[in-house]
Amino acid sequence: MGSRTLVFYGSYRSDRAGIRLADYIVRGLAARGDDVEFIDAKAVGLPMLDRMYKEYPAGEAPAAMEELAGKIRAADAFVFVTGEYNWGVQPGLKNLTDHFLEEWFWRPAAVASYSAGRLSGARSNSAWHATLSEMGMVVISSSLTVGPIGETLDEQGQPTGKAGQSLDRAFGRFADDLDWWTEAARAQRERRKPPY
């Protein structure tokens, strides 16, 4: 069995085009042998951040938060699928990630962004690199930027046209990069306990 990878998606909109990209990534990583789980921030439904998971006494965190903390701790790697809102990060995804901190440490993360326009969420993608690094993850250099998403993936998350072909070509490198860092991080954790 491959790596245990969590794919996070954070849109709360009623018409969620970005879920196409999340579905595409989940399928692509599973086809490579990863044990992949899709985490939908809207379905998890954490409230606006009041207390982080670590601020609850042991056993007193809300059930959804406790369950997700366990999944994060057990994962080998993370993929964050994000839209771009006014040059910034997606608020639903940011709220979900901010509920946790130490749970993220010492694992690699990858960012895939999308938008309805040609800039493909690139500004959000860039912002997530700094945020995830600050949260203790090693963010891989390969990124996926998809836009216009409606011309790249159909409603079932299947690539379409030239934009879809470009995504298929880029995905291999993206997944290879994540896999390399996942293996390196796992080997290092087995060799030496993280310093904190």
> For the domain that residue 128 is a member of, what is the CATH number?
3.40.50.360
Residue 196 forms part of a structural domain: no
pLDDT at 1: 60
Residue 179 forms part of a structural domain: yes
Burial 2-21 (b: 16+ CB within 10 A, else e): bbbbbbbbbbeeeeebbbbb
Q: How many domains does the chain have?
A: 1
Rounded to the nearest 5°, which phi and psi values hold at 174?
A: -55, -50
Domain that holds residue 41: 4-191
DSSP code of residue 63: H
Residue pair 112/38 in contact by the 8 Å Cβ criterion: no
Instruction: Show Cβ contacts of residue 16 under 8 Å, excluding neighbours closer than 6 positions.
Output: none
Residue 186 forms part of a structural domain: yes
Residue 63 forms part of a structural domain: yes
Residue 36 forms part of a structural domain: yes
Q: What is the DSSP string of 39-72?
A: EEHHHH-PPSSSS-GGGSPTT-S-HHHHHHHHHH
Tens of each residue's pLDDT in the chain, 196 residues? 689 999 999 999 999 999 999 999 999 999 999 999 999 999 999 999 999 999 999 999 999 999 999 999 999 999 999 999 888 899 999 999 999 999 999 999 999 999 998 889 999 999 999 999 999 999 999 999 999 999 999 999 999 999 999 999 999 999 999 999 999 999 999 999 988 8
Residue pair 42/12 in contact by the 8 Å Cβ criterion: yes
Whole-prediction pTM:
0.96
Residue 126 forms part of a structural domain: yes
Measured distance CA(105)–CA(72) in Å, rounded:
10
